[in-house]
Amino acid sequence: MSKDLTTEAALRPVNHLAIIMDGNGRWATNRGWPRLVGHRRGAERVREIVKASPALGIKWLTLYAFSTENWKRSTEEVLGLMAIFARYIEREADRLAQNGVRLRFIGERGRLDPKLQRMMAGIEARTAGCDRLNLTVAVNYGGRDEIVRAVRKIAEAAASGILDPLHLTEAAFAERLDTAGLPDPDLVIRTSGETRTSNFLPWQAAYAEFEFTATLWPDFTAEELAAVIQRFGNRDRRFGGVST
C-alpha cells in the first residue's frame, strides 16, 4: 500500500466500515473458472483487507459473507461456501488472535451445520480479548430477518412484563439486534458495480455513507480501500442537521 495514501486516509479515519463483498462468482466466470474459485479468491482478499484496516484507522470491520437469500443458489455452491467459511476459521484463528483481531458472527445460526456453529463459537471465544480490530462476519444474515427476530424478543419481554412497550426506545431496540454493542457503520462499500444494499444492516446503516465500486471483490485492493476512505473524509455528514 502507498505510504502517502495510507497517511491521507488515516487523517479522517472511518471508525466502522461495512462491506458487501460482491462479485466473486462473476470474477471466476469471466475467466472461465468455476464460481467457487472466485469465492476462494475472495476469502484471500478478506485476509488482505483485514490486515490493512488498522493502519487506515478502522476499528470495526463488518463483512457481508452469506445472506439469508443465498440459500437459493445451487447446492454445490452453498456447500462450497460453507466449506470455505470453515477453512477460513481453521486457517485464520491463530493469525487473528496474534494480530489482536476479535472475530464475531452475526446472523441466524440455526440453519448452519452444527460443526460449523461450534467452530464459529470457538473462534469467537478465543479472540474475545482482542481489541486492535473488531471483525464481524455476517453469515446467514438478512436485515429484515434480524429486525423480525428483535421484534420477537421485544414482544416476549413485553408479554412477560419485563418491558413496558411505552418505554421502548431506539437504544432498547438496538440492544435486541445481532449487532448489539457495535457502533453504527460510518461507511458501507459494495463491490461489483451493483447499486443496492441487498438487505444488509438496514437499521444500522440509516446514516452511513455509501460507496459503490465497479471493482469485483477479488480485485478490491487495500490501495482502493484507502482511496475510498480518503474520499469519505471529504463528505459532509449532517445527520439531518445543517452544515456548520
Note the pLDDT of residue 233.
85
For 32-83, how does the pLDDT look when each residue is reduced to its tens digit (9 = 90+)?
Answer: 999 999 999 999 999 999 999 999 999 999 999 999 999 999 999 999 999 9
User: Using CA atoms in the order 156, 159, 206, 229, what is the torsion angle rounded to 10 degrees?
Assistant: -40
> Is position 211 within any domain?
yes
- Which cell is 61 given? 470491520
Adjacent-strand bridge partners of 135 = 61, 103
The sign of the torsion formed by the CA atoms of 229, 220, 51, 137 equals positive
pTM over 0.85: yes
Give the DSSP letter string of the chain: --HHHHHHHHHS--SEEEEE---HHHHHHTTT--HHHHHHHHHHHHHHHHHHTGGGT-SEEEEEEEETTGGGS-HHHHHHHHHHHHHHHHHHHHHHHHTTEEEEEES--TTS-HHHHHHHHHHHHHTTT--SEEEEEEEEE-HHHHHHHHHHHHHHHHHTTS--GGG--HHHHHTTSTTTTSPPPSEEEE-SS----TTSSTTTTTT-EEEE-SS-GGG--HHHHHHHHHHHTT----TTS---
Decide if pLDDT at 15 tops 90.
yes
> Is position 240 within any domain?
no
Single-letter code of the amino acid located at 186: D
- On the CB side of 54, CA atoms within 13 Å amount to 13
> Is position 149 within any domain?
no
- Local confidence band at 8 (pLDDT 50, 70, 90 cut-offs): very low
> Is position 7 within any domain?
yes
CB 145 within 8 A of CB 67: no
- Local confidence band at 234 (pLDDT 50, 70, 90 cut-offs): confident
> Is position 83 within any domain?
yes
Is 140 known to be catalytic? no
For 148-188, how does the pLDDT look when each residue is reduced to its tens digit (9 = 90+)?
Answer: 999 999 999 999 999 999 999 999 999 999 999 999 999 99
Question: Which CATH number belongs to the domain containing residue 134 in this structure?
Answer: 3.40.1180.10
Kindly name the residue from 4, 15, 24, 70 that is annotated as catalytic: 70
Is 164 known to be catalytic? no
Residue 192 backbone class (left: φ over 0; alpha: ψ -120 to 50; beta: rest): left
Kindly name the residue from 15, 22, 99, 113 that is annotated as catalytic: 22
Domain count, the chain: 1
> Is position 162 within any domain?
no
CB 192 within 8 A of CB 23: yes
Domain membership of residue 213 as a residue range: 3-141+185-232
Site of grid cell 462499500:
189
